[in-house]
Amino acid sequence: MRYYRKLRFGVPSQRRSWPVCTVIPILLGVVAILGVTIGLLVHFLAVGKIYHYQGDFLISGVTYNDSCENAPSQISTDLSKDIETKMLDRFQNSSIYKEYINSQVIKLLPHPNGSSVQLQLTFKFPPAKRGIMKTEIKAVLLQMLKDNTVSWNAVPSSIKLMEISKANAEMLTNKCCGRQLFNSIRAGNRIVNGKNAQMGAWPWQASMQWQGKHHCGASLISSRWLLSAAHCFANKTNSEDWTVNFGTVVNKPYMTGKVQNIISHENFSSPGVHDDIALVQLAKEVSFSKYIRRICLPDAKMKLSENDSVVVTGWGALYMNGPLPSVLQEAFVKIIGNEVCNAPNALSGLVTDNMLCAGFMSGNADACQNDSGGPLVYPDSRKIWHLVGIVSWGDGCAKKNKPGVYTRVTAYRDWITSKTGL
Ligand code: ARG
């Protein structure tokens, strides 16, 4: 009896003496496991991740051909725009509107029975929803096609949807012309009166560097060719003196390339303002990325209208005789008709049909010294950008009644083809 009691008392007294150094690690372990489990659950069920999809469907009977590497025809643009508008509307009014980020038409390609339409879509949702989301996205697309069978000749049953990696999603757009990495935020006008460009906003912009120093701008029009101004290369004709920098910070290039050949327009004579256009051939093809892409060349028949919004970009002076910026500048300017631009108090007849004016009669924003050769770009209805002008000349910078003058790219469309095949 005594012995038994002793034993009973012995057990609790032994428990009480468990060393603290054993209990704390066990407690910590339990807390850690709980924490990780909750973390994983939250991650899986609540934290959104970005998912990319490629969609495809068929259009019967009509042949479209827009590989997205060149400017789309008006007819391709109209169809793509209509699909994009309806797609946006469908997703924004669907049960998955919170998960929707964006969607676009990438290509319209010829197909034995008509055309195939390639879509790219982006959504954000927690991994646990992956299965259900794919079903729902496909259902929204299917319904959209069913409702547009007549207007587009769409074949609803042909819809295919596939999840793709981020790298593949980027690759789809990198080869396309005129696509920004994201839409640049329209802000103040301060180039003169521009503002800093965001990385990837103008991925076709290049800095033409002569003996290692920024001299002019240029625009990438294919993996091998850039378009610039002829006056940039007057007395600087040796290709070996030139390098091409890409990126937004002029002296910290994202990529740099050697020049193989410079072709200035045969009718340009220095110092002059006529036929101020030059092609620069790179020694090696560039590989397109989210920060280096080509700009679309406009169709020779493309017409711009007075007051159209366009953008000029460059690392030129911030004002006449002012300092050069290190971050690429962008300025939103307006097309000014040649007649207005040639008025006696303006540029009094110096602007030919092969040139175009852009800026403001009030001054405000303009290109300036060392912006030459750089792009003046115009967004089509889908915000795909086209190269409409090359910075060429001006009377001072951003002066009242003295808008910037640009080489009119449409006037040289055939010349570009004759030299490059583009
Ligand atoms: N010719 C100048 C250059 O070599 C560009 C002048 C553009 N001027 C203007 N006001 N838009 O960089």
407 CA from centroid of ligand 1 (Å): 11
pLDDT in tens, 281-312: 999 999 999 999 999 999 999 999 999 999 99
Is the C-beta atom of 393 inside 6 A of ligand 1? Answer: yes
Q: Is the pLDDT of residue 10 over 80?
A: no
Most informative mutation of 213, 214, 372, 405 for ligand 1 (most atoms within 8 A of CB): 372
Question: How many percent of the chain have pLDDT more than 90?
Answer: 86
Report the separation in Å between the CA atom of 319 and the middle of ligand 1, taken as the mean of its atom positions.
11
> What is the Cα–Cα distance from 144 to 153, expressed in whole angstroms?
12
**pLDDT tens-digit readout, 321-342:** 999 999 999 999 999 999 999 9
Alpha carbon nearest to ligand 1 atom 1, residue:
393
Q: List, for residues 257-286, the tens digit of each pLDDT value.
A: 999 999 999 999 999 999 999 999 999 999
217 lines ligand 1 (CB under 6 A): no
Specify the pTM: 0.89
The one-letter amino acid at 93 = N
Instruction: Write out the DSSP string of 283-301.
Output: SSPPPP-SS--PPBPPPTT
Please choose, from the candidates 148, 154, 141, the residue with its C-alpha nearest in 3D space to the C-alpha of residue 60: 154
Tokens 């339990």 found at: 30
Q: Which domain holds residue 165?
A: 49-174
Average pLDDT over residues 131-158: 97
Residues 23-57 pLDDT 10s:
777 788 888 878 777 777 776 677 999 999 999 99
At 421 the pLDDT is 97
Give the separation between CA 246 and CA 243, rounded to whole angstroms.
10
Active site residue 89: no
The amino acid sitting at 58 is L
Q: Which of 219, 222, 264, 372 is catalytic?
A: 372
Q: Is residue 93 part of a domain?
A: yes
Return the ∠ at Cα 358 (arms to 352 and 359), rounded to 5°: 140
Positive or negative: CA dihedral 126, 127, 133, 137? positive
Q: Flag whether 109 is in a domain.
A: yes
> Is the Cβ atom of 416 under 6 angstroms away from ligand 1?
no
What is the position in ligand 1's atom list of the atom closest to the CA of 396? Answer: 10
Give the rounded percent of residues in the chain with a pLDDT score beyond 70.
Answer: 93
Give the Å distance between the CA of 269 and the centre of ligand 1: 17
pLDDT higher than threshold 50 for residue 184: no
What's the maximum distance between 2 C-alpha atoms anywhere in the chain? 125
Task: Give helix 130-147 / helix 74-92 axis angle, nearest 10°.
Answer: 130
With a 6 Å cutoff on the Cβ, whether 316 touches ligand 1 is yes
Q: Is residue 118 part of a domain?
A: yes
Q: Give the pLDDT confidence score for residue 194 in this predicted structure.
A: 93
Residue 260 lies in a domain: no
Q: 323 C-alpha to center of ligand 1: Å? A: 14
The tokens 């690392």 sit on which residue?
315
Whether 310 maps to a domain, the answer reads: no
**How does the average pLDDT of the chain come out, rounded?**
93
Residue 12 has pLDDT above 70, yes or no: no
pLDDT confidence of residue 186 = 42
Report cis status (omega within 30 of 0) of the bond before 203: no
228 pocket-lining for ligand 1 (C-beta < 6 Å): no
Distance 390 CA to ligand 1 centre (A): 10
User: Over 70: is that where the pLDDT of 121 sits?
Assistant: yes
Q: Is the CB of 371 under 6 A from ligand 1?
A: yes
* Cβ(276) – ligand 1 distance below 6 Å: no
Any atom of ligand 1 within 6 Å of the Cβ of 87: no
Judge if the beta carbon of residue 140 lies within 6 A of ligand 1: no
What's the whole-number mean pLDDT along residues 91-113?
97
Local structure of 238: helix, strand or coil: coil
Say if CB 354 and CB 376 are below 8 A apart. no
* pLDDT-derived band at 183, boundaries 50, 70, 90: very low
Q: Into how many domains does the chain fold?
A: 1
User: What dihedral do alpha carbons 366, 389, 315, 256 form, nearest 10°?
Assistant: 170
**Nearest residue by C-alpha to atom 2 in ligand 1:** 369
Set 66, 275, 276, 366: catalytic member: 276
Give the confidence band of 18 by pLDDT, cuts at 50, 70, 90: low
The C-alpha atoms of residue 303 and residue 329 are separated, in whole angstroms, by 26
Q: Looking at the predicted structure, is the pLDDT value of residue 189 above 50?
A: no
pLDDT over 70 (residue 116):
yes
Give the atom of ligand 1 at the shortest distance from the alpha carbon of 217. 12
Contact predicate 309/334, CB 8 Å: yes
Look-up of token digits 């970009």:
313
Q: Does the C-beta of 367 come closer than 6 Å to ligand 1?
A: yes
Q: For the segment 355-375, what is each residue's pLDDT rounded down to a tens digit?
A: 999 999 999 999 999 999 999
Catalytic residue among 231, 265, 380, 392: 231
Q: Is the beta carbon of 248 within 6 A of some atom in ligand 1?
A: no
Backbone angles phi, psi at 182, to 5 degrees: -155, 170
Q: Is 276 a catalytic residue?
A: yes
Q: Is residue 311 part of a domain?
A: no
Question: Could you identify the atom of ligand 1 that is nearest to the CA of residue 232?
Answer: 4
In terms of Cβ atoms closer than 10 Å to its own Cβ (0-12, 13-18, 19+), residue 308 is middle
Answer positive or negative: Cα dihedral of 170, 173, 175, 177: negative
Distance CA 240, CA 224 (A): 16
Residue-by-residue DSSP string for 49-97: EEEEEEEEEEEES----B-SSSPPPHHHHHHHHHHHHHHHHHHHTSTTT
Q: How far is the CA of 274 from the centre of ligand 1 (A)?
A: 14
Per-residue pLDDT averaged across 128-145, rounded? Answer: 98
Query: What secondary structure does DSSP assign to 308-348, as a single string?
Result: -EEEEEES--SSTT-PPPSBPEEEEEEEE-HHHHTSTTTTT
Do the bridges between strand 225-228 and strand 255-264 make them parallel or antiparallel, or are there none, so unpaired? Answer: unpaired
Residue 145 Cβ inside 6 Å of ligand 1? The answer reads no
- Of 25-39, 155-169, 184-198, 388-402, the poorest mean pLDDT is in 184-198
Using DSSP's 3-state secondary structure scheme, residue 169 falls into: helix
Residue 343, C-beta contacts closer than 8 angstroms, at least 6 positions apart: 401
What CATH number does residue 85 fall under?
Answer: 3.30.70.960
* Ligand 1 pocket: which of 334, 392, 399, 402 to mutate (most atoms within 8 A of CB): 392
CA atoms 320, 322, 324, 328: torsion sign: negative
Is the confidence at residue 230, as pLDDT, over 60? yes
In a domain, 205, yes or no: no
37 or 67, which is more confident: 67
- Is 103 one of the catalytic residues? no
Could you tell me the CA-to-CA distances from 138 to 114, 157, 163, 280 in Å, in that order? Answer: 22, 11, 11, 45
The answer to whether residue 383 sits within a structural domain is no
Ordered DSSP codes for 118-161: EEEEEEEE-GGGHHHHHHHHHHHHHHHHHHTHHHH-EEEEEEEE
